Amino acid sequence: MEIFERILQGAIEAGASDVHLKIGAPVIFRIAGELVPVDAPPPAAEWMQTVLGQIVPAHLRARLDAEHEVDFAYTPPGGGRFRVNVFQQRGGYVLALRLVKTAVRTFAQLHLPETLRRIAESESGIVLITGATGSGKSTTLAAMIDHINSTARKHIITLEDPIEFLFEDKQSVIEQREVGLDTASFDSGLKNVLRQDPDILVIGEMRDAASVVAAMSAANIGHLVISTLHTVDAAKSVQRILEFFPANEREQARQQFATALRAVVCQRLVRTQAAEQRPALEILTNNAAVTKIIHTGALDKLPSAIELGGGEGMQTFNMALHALASAGHITQAEALANSPSPESLKMRFQGVTLNETRRILGARE
């Protein structure tokens, strides 16, 4: 285990976000988004089994044997905290470890817009934080929880698999429940959570129709529900939520979700000119126009609604990327490389603004 602990300590010191350990292959760190091989002995099969025997929690060992993959959190003796995924490939186990920052960063430290503070202070509704793996969803979610904890007297209950950031009570009372350890399953935890008198429910990830139904039920009786989803933009986030339901239930789910939704925050990380990473956010907040679009199923109109909702704090990815480039934080090339519609962004840089239906909204003289 000594080598394993030294690898993790080296990752912390190098500022790595991830560590990849595969039998017979070089040890890999992900640093500033790039995969970097490091000077360490390639893991052997026997060594990997020893490590797994030490770090896999007792309650997950049977699942690992049966399903060949598990998630959990691990805190090395030397400090730090990692979210661990163990999985099997070509008959051998692989470890993917993500470093969880022990200090929860604020909105300002993360360069998140003011709109997120207002969303976090909502009394009720569903807030979805979405993006690809590694886009910083968990970090943004933690910042929202910490803001609430620091500014309001609320009862916050989380359901996580596994627990990542650890919170101490400040103004709020927080209980963090880990699936498999503190509750048997997400379903079990969700069935009982409203009996525990929460003001705010944090669901680590929307996984199925049951979690969405629980979230909508909680939101519709006055609770704030915050969760994450693996989707790339606001429209696809709404579409993905509805796809959890069978076809004969989808229409009813659409009507309920249109009312329950508070906001969708979709995030991706871009590289700054200082070789750091900074979030670019698409933000959708629910208003009468958005509710109507979801009610009618015209989800292709959501990007235009976001563009027109700039005065309410909404923004498309192109609006966010344009602002970052105009402020000199990122290059135009980086903005275009991360844009979902580079042609429209290029025209925006030239002073011509198009909405998603290709109608000119404004042009610089």
- DSSP string covering 40-83, please? SPPPPHHHHHHHHHHHS-GGGHHHHHHHSEEEEEE--TTS--EE
For the entire predicted model, the pTM comes to 0.83
The boundaries of every CATH 3.30.450.90 domain in the chain are 2-99
pLDDT of residue 360: 47
The encoded tokens of residue 17 equal: 């976000």
Cα–Cα distance measured from residue 240 to residue 237, given in angstroms and rounded to the nearest whole number: 5
Query: Which residue has 């109109």 as its token pair?
Result: 301
The boundaries of every CATH 3.40.50.300 domain in the chain are 114-315
pLDDT of residue 359: 53
The encoded tokens of residue 94 equal: 């692989």
Query: Which residue has 């704090």 as its token pair?
Result: 313
Classified by CATH at the fold level, domain 2-99 comes out as Beta-Lactamase (3.30.450)
Q: Was domain 114-315 assigned CATH 3.40.50.300? A: yes
> Strand 69-74's sheet: what is its strand order?
34-37, 28-31, 18-22, 92-99, 82-89, 69-74
End-to-end Cα separation, the chain, in angstroms: 66
Q: What is the chain's pLDDT, residue by residue, as a tens digit (365 residues)? A: 899 999 999 999 999 999 999 999 999 999 988 999 999 999 999 999 999 999 999 989 999 999 999 999 899 988 888 999 999 999 999 999 999 877 899 999 999 999 999 999 999 999 999 999 889 999 999 999 999 999 999 999 999 988 889 999 999 999 999 988 899 888 889 988 999 999 999 999 999 999 999 999 999 999 999 999 999 999 999 999 999 999 999 999 999 999 999 999 999 999 999 989 999 999 999 999 999 999 999 999 999 999 999 999 999 999 999 999 999 999 999 999 999 999 999 999 998 776 655 554 454 44
Instruction: Specify which residues 363 forms β-bridges with.
Output: 352
pLDDT of residue 365: 41
Quick check: helix, strand or coil at residue 206? Answer: coil
